A and B are shown apart, each in its own frame.
Chain A
Amino acid sequence: MKARIHVMLKNGVLDPQGEAVHHALGSMGFDGVQGVRQGKVIELDLDDSATEAQVGEMCEKLLANTVIESYQIEMI
């Protein structure tokens, strides 16, 4: 079993890397991009006994900094 975790900066937290990517896309002629937010994806290989609640605890305690980041868990 795997868990895929998407970690993103929260809305309202400035994402200078996303801004730079946005700017680059614009300068390459890709119009119509209204905003870019850059995050990260973390994949965990898990024992079959692992639960989403345990993955949630991992996110809260280490994988995301909930002061600035939000996360979404996908069990796959």
Chain B
Amino acid sequence: MKAAVIVFPGSNCDRDLAVAFESAGADVTMVWHKDSTLPQGVDIVGIPGGFSFGDYLRCGAIAARSPICQAVVAHADRGGYAMGICNGFQVLTETGVLPGALLRNAGLKYICKTVGLKVETSSSAFTEGYNAGDTVNIPIAHHDGNYFADAETVARLKGEDRVAFTYTDNPNGSISDIAGILSENRRVLGMMPHPERAADSGHGGTDGAALFRALTGALAPA
């Protein structure tokens, strides 16, 4: 599996994401935001966490208009796989690849802790390493992780089995406890929690490793 990890000024989980992909057996290329094309033959694009462009204007807003994001949108439109974690999720909603938006946490505080997530669906390349209904422990670290979408969009996400993860104890006010969602074709995942920070025994938890393993398995050349 060939993975590309996008690096913006202010990204700070790009190395962690690359290491998690590599540990699962992927070849990883780091791609700078000013590039306008993805490396040839990329299977999955990872948009990492961090504070791209200092969170100026809105979290992820400036990054979403960068040259590389036009290539990421085209990749997703062609049916390519992509995942955005934390700031990467914010970027994907800002591009319109995923619906909704991430608002300031309802309690106004930046929250950095490990939370329980319920796996809502195992029906995606990202979540097939889990069973629906499993609870996994994954860290969050965000100030603007309060997922919002209008009632019609939330109903559609639920109806189409596109909610990937929910919080077992909602930390940030997200509507319907939503922590991560899938695109219509189930090939793009956006989530606020950080599976790449729970992918090695040195992290204090490895519940995120199954996501990267499942992805590598699903996208391995036949």
Contact indicator A68/B103 (Cβ below 8 Å): yes
A14 at interface (Cβ–Cβ under 8 A)?
yes
Mask: chain B, 148-169; 1 = CB below 8 Å from A; 0 = not:
1100000000000000000000
Mask: chain B, 198-220; 1 = CB below 8 Å from A; 0 = not:
00000000000000000000000
Binds B, one of A26-34, A45-53, A59-67: A59-67
How many contacting A-B pairs (Cβ < 8 A)? 37
Which B11-62 residues sit within 8 Å CB-CB of chain A? 57-58, 61
Neighbour of A63 across the interface among B57, B93, B94, CB < 8 A: B57
Provide the residues of chain B in CB contact with A20, threshold 8 Å.
108
Provide the residues of chain B in CB contact with A62, threshold 8 Å.
57, 61, 65
B107 at interface (Cβ–Cβ under 8 A)?
yes
B101 at interface (Cβ–Cβ under 8 A)?
yes
- Given the known inter-chain contacts A65-B58, A65-B101, please indicate yes or no for A16 contacting B106, CB distance below 8 A: yes
Whole-angstrom CA separation of A17 from B143 in the bound complex: 12
Contact indicator B108/A13 (Cβ below 8 Å): no
B100 at interface (Cβ–Cβ under 8 A)?
yes
Whole-angstrom CA separation of A24 from B108 in the bound complex: 14
B105 at interface (Cβ–Cβ under 8 A)?
yes
Which B85-108 residues sit within 8 Å CB-CB of chain A? 93-94, 99-101, 103-108
Min C-beta distance of A38 to chain B, whole Å:
10
Provide the residues of chain B in CB contact with A63, threshold 8 Å.
57
Contact indicator B108/A68 (Cβ below 8 Å): no
B173 at interface (Cβ–Cβ under 8 A)?
yes
- Given the known inter-chain contacts A62-B57, A65-B94, please indicate yes or no for A17 contacting B108, CB distance below 8 A: yes
- Given the known inter-chain contacts A20-B108, A67-B93, A67-B149, please indicate yes or no for A13 contacting B61, CB distance below 8 A: no
Which among A62, A63, A67 has the highest number of chain B CB atoms within 10 Å?
Answer: A67
Which residues of A line the B interface, CB within 8 A? 9, 13-14, 16-17, 20, 61-63, 65, 67-68
Which residues of B line the A interface, CB within 8 A? 57-58, 61, 65, 93-94, 99-101, 103-108, 146, 148-149, 173
Shortest 6 CB-CB distances between A and B: which pairs?
A67-B101, A68-B101, A16-B108, A16-B106, A16-B104, A20-B108
